[in-house]
Structure 1
Amino acid sequence: MAVAVGAAAAGAFIHAADPTTPGGVIPECPSKHFLGVICPGCGSMRMIYSLLHLDFGAALRFNAVGLLVLVALIGAFARWTWRRARGDGAGTMRLGGRAAWCIAAVVVAWLVVRNIPVAPFTALRV
């Protein structure tokens, strides 16, 4: 319940703060601001804001991999909640070694691809 309440509170804050407006309450990503590097998470606040407004195209444009991760997290949380409610498991979520390496590879690839300074990769910059 605490995770759901925390996610709802974060969503309400993002909705109220409107990260799509420059100079707003939510600052620019530090890696982008100080280093000029677009990190794998850049655009995530704007992606969530777009999802809250049911603008799936904008959410995909702001952070496509982040959107996939968010969908996977929601699915994992729903599965964990369902299993916990039914009493089918110890109540913990585990991530295997292969899955962790795959996630790391995707994150590193997304970091590299978003920072390639030639078309069509420049379209992935936010």
Structure 2
Amino acid sequence: MTNARPDGRIRRDAWLAAGLLAIGACVTALVDPARPGRYPRCPFRALTGFDCPGCGSLRALHQLTHGHLMAAIDYNLLFVAFLPCAAVVWLRIVTGRTRGRVLPAWRARAAIITLIVWTVVRNLPVFGGMLRS
């Protein structure tokens, strides 16, 4: 279903998502995910033994909330690069400046493929300590 502008429900959901992200950022700012025992064990890492992009994102968010951009990039470059893009999409939604679908299907598929490729690439031994989680 394609609308010229998002309806009130989509805008409300965008504000709700922003609020949840703000709460999550506050919790992450206060509780360092890099210190063991602070968060539950990562099921992806426990199951596969590979670094999880979610864990790296959590650590990157902690660093960003403390103003450490380079440390955040070191934990998860993709997450740090994603945030400005997400902010632009969010602003377009809440201001009603979207045309057609909020996120076309091809972009959603490209995002999923990028996340999968990133998960594989960051776990290659070639990168060693360059990309950590």
TM-score norm. by structure 2 comes to: 0.75
1:75 counterpart (72, 88, 92): 88
Structure of higher RCO (CA pairs closer than 8 Å, 6+ residues apart)? 2
The equivalent residue for 2:111 is 103
SS for the counterpart of 2:53 is coil
The equivalent residue for 1:3 is 17
- List 4+ stretches of structure 1 deviating above 3 A: none
CA distance in 1, matches of 2:84, 2:30: 22
The equivalent residue for 1:50 is 63
Q: Number of matched residues?
A: 118
The equivalent residue for 1:116 is 124
Among the aligned pairs, what percent are the same residue? 30
Q: Structure 2 counterpart of 1:68, which letter?
A: A
The equivalent residue for 1:16 is 30
Structure 2's unaligned 5+ residue stretches are 1-14
CA root-mean-square deviation: 2.1
1:64 counterpart (73, 77, 99): 77
Contact 2:45 2:51 in 1 (8 A): yes
Structure 1's unaligned 5+ residue stretches are none
TM-score norm. by structure 1 comes to: 0.79
Deviations 1:37-76 (A, max 9, x none): 2233231111111110110001101111111222211221
